[in-house]
Amino acid sequence: MLLTATIRPSRPLTKHLRGLRFSSSSSSSASASASASAIAASFLDRFQSLGPQIRTQTLDPNQLRLLSLTLNRPSLFPSSSPLSSTTTDAPAANVAGTEIAAGTPLPPGYHLVYFTPAFLETELGSDGTDTSYNPSHPFTRRMWAGGEVSWQRDASGGAVNPLRVGQKVTETTRVLSAEPKIVKKTGEEMIVVGVEKEFANEGGVAVVDRRNWVFRKALPPPTSSTTASSSSTLPPASPPTPHPASCTTISSGNTHTRTLSQTAVTLFRFSALTFNPHKIHYSLPWARDVEGHRDIVVHGPLNLISILDLWRDLRGADGSDGSLDTLYPEKISYRATSPLYAGDEYRIVLEEGQGKKGIVEILTPEGTIGMKAEIVGV
């Protein structure tokens, strides 16, 4: 059965769209919006006629291990053995490090490094993004704007069905919506695409991941004059940060604040693990001179994982003591509102309210909200 549900568009992770209001039509740009409408309708018809896209994959323990190390977490869970190959007794090259055992549950959000896109470089867009779910030209400039992830439970609402290392998992992808939008202030057109991914193991559906992607018009190819002009007007990039991503957490009552700083190395490794070649995350010339950012951009999915890591760390749950059901929230909904950059020291502020809900804001060094989220616990 084909789904035609509509996802409310989220604000994309770019300073150019911060605080903008969208409209479905505009009298001053009727012909332009008609073009966007036709492209959105054609895109939706094409994918609904194709039906769900299905892939199967066995969850590799090494992918999980490398993600944990990329996140500067030397152990997957508090009770786990160290994952790093470095010891005081032997050179790192001679020590393999601890392998993650089959059956180990994936922490919340860590499914994002599996089922990565698989395309030849010649099949990628000019900005490096894969074009698997792109509307037609010119709406090919994709940004991850937000979404919602839920972890499925049994009929009683208690026992969770986690994804585990070694499981054969099926991913089912459906395009839910494609809507033309116009930024009221500038008249800029874009298309908001809603996609749902279900991840199922032998126990049934384990994770439902709904994502909102914003597609803006493609940028013209960079020229030497463009590079020279933008380089002279934009602030310099942040100095390189030689140390691993910092991570300190302070709690005061129901408010918990974690300070993070992602390095260029972290962003590069995360791009590699997710097989995400989007140039804004690793190419400073592209990010700054073409896209208009002051530095390379922290991934939206990386921010999502950082929020979920803080949430599970506060609960101290790792599944080893019967706490498996509390390791996963019921769901998280999130929206990216402003970019974060390599070298920025930013804060994740989680405020636990009454009942099972937690409200999260990621704050840039300037105090701007980079991402908002709401977590519903169990």
All structural domains of the chain with their residue ranges: 36-78+101-221+234-376
Q: What percent of the chain has pLDDT over 70?
A: 79
H helices of the chain, in order, are: 30-50, 61-70, 224-233, 264-273, 284-285, 300-315, 324-327
Q: Rounded CA gap, 290 and 297, in Å?
A: 13
Question: Per the structure block, which two tokens stand in for 99?
Answer: 């392998």
Nearest to 360 by CA among 329, 316, 325: 329
Q: Is 244 left (phi over 0), alpha (psi -120 to 50) or beta?
A: beta
The predicted structure's pLDDT at residue 299: 97
Nearest to 208 by CA among 194, 224, 226, 193: 194
The predicted structure's pLDDT at residue 26: 43
The predicted structure's pLDDT at residue 125: 86
Nearest to 219 by CA among 317, 304, 287, 274: 287
Q: Rounded CA gap, 342 and 257, in Å?
A: 19
CB 216 within 8 A of CB 183: no
- The answer, yes or no, to whether the previous bond of 9 is cis (omega within 30 of 0) is no
The predicted structure's pLDDT at residue 35: 86
Which residue type is seen at 352?
E
DSSP category for residue 120: -
Asked if the 36-78+101-221+234-376 domain carries CATH number 3.40.1380.10, the reply is no
> Hey, is 307 helix, strand or coil?
helix
Contacts of 114 by beta carbon, 8 Å cutoff, 6+ apart? 57, 59, 60, 63, 169
Residues in the chain with pLDDT values less than 50: 1-20, 22, 25-30, 87-88, 90-95, 226-232, 240-245
Q: How far is CA 341 from CA 48, 65, 185, 287, 291, in A?
A: 37, 25, 26, 10, 13
Q: Rounded CA gap, 275 and 299, in Å?
A: 12
The pLDDT tens digits of the residues spanning 113-134 come to: 999 998 899 888 888 888 888 8
Q: How far is CA 251 from CA 173, 262, 315, 359, in A?
A: 39, 21, 13, 15
Run of H or E residues at 129: none
> Hey, is 251 helix, strand or coil?
strand
Contacts of 216 by beta carbon, 8 Å cutoff, 6+ apart? 12, 139, 141, 143, 188, 189, 190
The predicted structure's pLDDT at residue 4: 34
Q: Rounded CA gap, 283 and 293, in Å?
A: 11
